[in-house]
Amino acid sequence: MPVVPPLPVVRQIRDPDDYPAEATQLAPRTESPWTLALPDGTRYSIATTLIVGRAPVLLPQWPDGLLVAADHIAVSKTHAVFEFSQGRLFVNDLGSTNGITVRQPGAEPIDLEPHQRLEVTTTTDVELGTFVVRIGRA
């Protein structure tokens, strides 16, 4: 059996005061109050960005988005982006074929123009063509 040599120790810190000032610091965690629910009941937390489509791909504007597949004929390959930013939630139409209609409580439905961005509120239905997802609170 081959012997594996130990890894070299780059620096051992014995005293907390010896810890370098430029060391990694923990970033504050933020929980999103938003969820996206698919018709089958699958729910996603919208912590940053969800890219939704029949076969979604990452986009340069959202390189670390979470891809969510919506297996429905009315949904474009990469149809919409749901983006949580500074405590607010937005939906973006990505130039989809069948468009997006947003139905918020107490308001008239809004048909988004291609590449239009709109802030949405809780208990909002978002129609991707005829495929309906629901925005809610976590």
45-84: per-residue pLDDT in tens? 998 899 999 999 999 999 989 999 999 999 999 999 999 9
Domain count for the chain: 1
- Cα gap 133→46, rounded to integer Å: 13
Determine the structural domain holding residue 64 and report its residue range. Answer: 32-137
Q: Is residue 81 in a domain?
A: yes
CA angle 71, 72, 77 (to 5 degrees): 75
CA dihedral 109, 114, 66, 69 (to 10 degrees): 80
Q: Is residue 80 in a domain?
A: yes
108-125: per-residue pLDDT in tens? 999 999 999 999 988 999
Q: Is residue 3 in a domain?
A: no
- Predicted local distance difference test score (pLDDT) of residue 16: 53
Averaged pLDDT score across all residues of the chain: 84
DSSP string covering 49-94: EEEEESS---BTTBTTPEEEE---TTS-TT-EEEEEETTEEEEEE-
- Predicted local distance difference test score (pLDDT) of residue 138: 80
Which residues 6+ apart lie within 8 Å of 5 measured at CB? none
Q: Residue range 14-23: average pLDDT?
A: 54
CATH number for the domain spanning 83: value is 2.60.200.20
